[in-house]
Amino acid sequence: MSAEFLHGVETIEVKSGGNQITVVRASVAVVLGIAPKGPKNDPILCLSEAQDAQFGKTVDGFNIPRTLQLIRSIAGGCAVIVINVFDETTHTTAVASETQTVVDGALQLAFPPIGTVTIKNDADTNTTAVLGTDYTLDDFGKLLVLSNHADFANGKTLKFSYKKLNPSGVLGTHLIGAVASDGSRTGAKLIDFIYTKFGYNAKILLAPGYSSLTALATEMRTIADRIRATWLHDAPYGTSVSTALTARGNTGTIGWNNAHRRSVLLFPSSLKYVDPNGTGTTDEENTKEFPYSAFMAAVMIWNDKQNGYWYSPSNKPMSNVVGAEKIITASYTDSSAENQQLNAIGITTYMNSFAAGFKTFGNRNASFPSNTDPHTFVNIVRTDDIVSESLEEAVTKHIDLPVTIVADIALQEGNNLMAALVQRGAFMAGSEIRLNDSDNPPEELAQGHITFERVYMVPPPTERITFKNRIEIQLLKNLLNKD
């Protein structure tokens, strides 16, 4: 059954004295990183391409604009919260007197310019040409001549001074952020403000291009546990299959030696797609590489909207992917294939069957295979988190009411929600909320403490299908018994 959301919200009406329980926003993603423009160190909600535009163009090195572009290309309109930590002072270096020549009314700077650009003419004085009147200069560093200004005539040489991105200046500490003495926050520390600002927590966390920073990954795992979110953890760029496999062991070197059930480990680091903003003349020239986490976040959001958050995000199409940083052997039936070996130790990868395109491939989180209980499935943990938070939020309005009233109302509302989720396929039949005498001795009730038990099972994904073949020679009798 389809599960459509309005700006990421699903509301299930339950008959309980006019009350309803609202299922928390399952598909809200937080994108942490840098953008050439837009608000800094403030959680900003973006619901559309028009709102994404405040963070600038898809300039190489800035992960936020390209992540937003990829999410929209797969998931369309959805809620994405952006935390931009870019600091023009800290994260740039100066380019002084770069020489370029006007050819056919245009030129291209060596780097995308950031901030103010100073232009000197061939007399080594500042040009009097006016931006927007005599020339344009886009975010990618391409200059187009608009007028007959003498300084911009064909063959003229110009000197440009500006700032360019210094990727090595973006440190894990900038992304993690800090809490000041006045309570203000920066970086990932701002995620704790999201509920206060918007009234809901994010459920998907990603920092494409930076997730392999050990300190950041540790921080994001902690945050994911605190707010019940899924953390998308890319392998570092250039990781080989063998390194990815050994990374799950004690000798691993990429921060994957953990059993964190809210982490999705993604290999290879990057996938290739055709960039609609590319400037080349062929698809090959327009092809870009970008971290897998951006594609996975997009697929998870699309899957939540199309099917429901209780569906696994595995084996789902990535319609805009045309290649991968690392080509792996893949099979649905051969356990020795590299995609199978990766899945077997809790790493999500891709599948690229003949004439079928690229698909996500992997159901398990990082807690597998050291754990084998149902919570190793990504969709089961997400469903558990979402419904738990929904129930908790629903009963907050009953806090401080007489315990006798709460016992009846909370049980009724909770079971109405559970019944609705069973009907939709999120839970197995028989899932329910119980109020057990053994959990509520008089001494606890006298202290104003009431305990409910949620008994449930999320349908696990069908990860393995087996056919048993048996040759039945007696069927040859039918050869002689034809009518």
In DSSP notation, 355-423 reads: TTEEEEE--B-TTTTT--SGGGBHHHHHHHHHHHHHHHHHHGGGTTS-HHHHHHHHHHHHHHHHHHHHH
Reported confidence tier of residue 17, pLDDT bands at 50, 70, 90: very low
The C-alpha atoms of residue 450 and residue 440 are separated, in whole angstroms, by 6
Task: Please give the distance of CA 101 from its chain centroid, rounded to a whole number.
Answer: 42
- Strand-strand pairing, 142-145 and 106-108: antiparallel
Closest C-alpha among 428, 433, 431, 396 to residue 414: 433
Q: In this predicted model, what pLDDT tens digit does every residue of 321-337 receive, in sequence order?
A: 999 999 999 999 899 99
In order of 42, 109, 206, 427, the CA distances from 198 in angstroms are: 12, 41, 19, 28
Q: In this predicted model, what pLDDT tens digit does every residue of 407-435 receive, in sequence order?
A: 999 999 999 999 999 999 999 999 999 99
pLDDT at 160: 98
pLDDT at 279: 57
| pLDDT at position 194 over 70 | yes
23-41: average pLDDT:
91
Reported confidence tier of residue 367, pLDDT bands at 50, 70, 90: very high
| pLDDT at position 23 over 90 | no
Closest C-alpha among 229, 164, 174 to residue 201: 229
| pLDDT at position 404 over 90 | yes
| pLDDT at position 12 over 60 | no
Reported confidence tier of residue 251, pLDDT bands at 50, 70, 90: confident
Q: In this predicted model, what pLDDT tens digit does every residue of 106-116 receive, in sequence order?
A: 999 999 999 99
| pLDDT at position 286 over 90 | no
Q: pTM for the whole thing?
A: 0.91
59: left (phi over 0), alpha (psi -120 to 50) or beta: beta
Share of the chain above pLDDT 70, in %: 93
Say if residues 4 and 75 touch (Cβ distance below 8 Å).
Answer: no
| pLDDT at position 146 over 70 | yes
| pLDDT at position 156 over 50 | yes
| All structural domains of the chain | 10-86+174-376 (3.40.50.11780), 92-165 (no CATH)
| pLDDT at position 22 over 60 | no
pLDDT at 201: 93
pLDDT at 26: 87
27-35: average pLDDT:
97
| pLDDT at position 306 over 50 | yes
Say if residues 113 and 80 touch (Cβ distance below 8 Å).
Answer: no
pLDDT at 480: 74
Q: In this predicted model, what pLDDT tens digit does every residue of 71-105 receive, in sequence order?
A: 999 999 899 999 999 999 999 999 999 999 999 99
